[in-house]
């Protein structure tokens, strides 16, 4: 259980990289001793809790999927996804794919959000979480049946 939480937190911290605002610098043409003007927006744009909650859900579902896949394989189950079946038995490769899926999903949603396509960003993350939840439910049923 502790390893599951640790893995989930690790993925969240690795994926949720803070963004840094670009500095806008302007120098006065007549006075070279004037320090550059830095415009820093200290108030982030208003954002609800929906999208960050979907990010955490996506990461948690990917962690559960990875753990349940590895557990099921150890119990004799077979990976049903032909795309993942080649790497399902390789722990490092499986976690790299799970982390990549999570990273790309969050990155894409963040880009949509910044482009003011907020409803699309939320809809995409709901779809990603829905698919991951379906896979997790399937893994749970297979793991129960194999025991």
59/72 Cα distance (integer angstroms):
20
Q: Mean of the pLDDT values across residues 29-37?
A: 64
- Tens of pLDDT along 66-108? 999 999 989 888 888 888 888 988 989 999 999 999 999 999 9
For 130, half-sphere exposure in the C-beta direction (CA atoms, 13 angstrom radius) is 6
Q: Which residues contact 14 (CB under 8 A, 6 or more apart)?
A: 99
- Helix (H) / strand (E) element for 65: namely helix 50-74
Half-sphere exposure of 101 (CA within 13 A, CB side): 19
| pLDDT > 70 in the chain, percent | 72
Is 0.75 surpassed by the pTM of this model?
no
Model confidence band, residue 23 (pLDDT cutoffs 50, 70, 90): very low
pLDDT at residue 48, rounded to an integer: 80
């Amino acid at each position: 259980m502790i390893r599951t939480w640790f893995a989930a937190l690790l993925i969240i911290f690795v994926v949720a990289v803070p963004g840094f605002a670009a500095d806008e610098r302007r120098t006065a043409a007549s006075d070279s001793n004037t320090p550059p003007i830095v415009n820093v927006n200290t108030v982030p744009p208003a954002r609800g809790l929906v999208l960050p909650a979907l990010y955490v859900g996506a990461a948690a579902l990917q962690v559960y999927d990875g753990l349940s896949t590895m557990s099921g394989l150890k119990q004799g189950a077979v990976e049903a996804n032909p795309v993942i079946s080649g790497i399902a038995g390789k722990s490092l490769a499986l976690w790299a794919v799970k982390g990549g899926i999570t990273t790309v999903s969050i990155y894409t949603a963040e880009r949509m959000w910044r482009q003011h396509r907020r409803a699309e960003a939320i809809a995409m993350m709901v779809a990603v979480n829905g698919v991951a939840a379906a896979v997790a439910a399937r893994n749970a049923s297979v793991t129960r049946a194999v025991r």
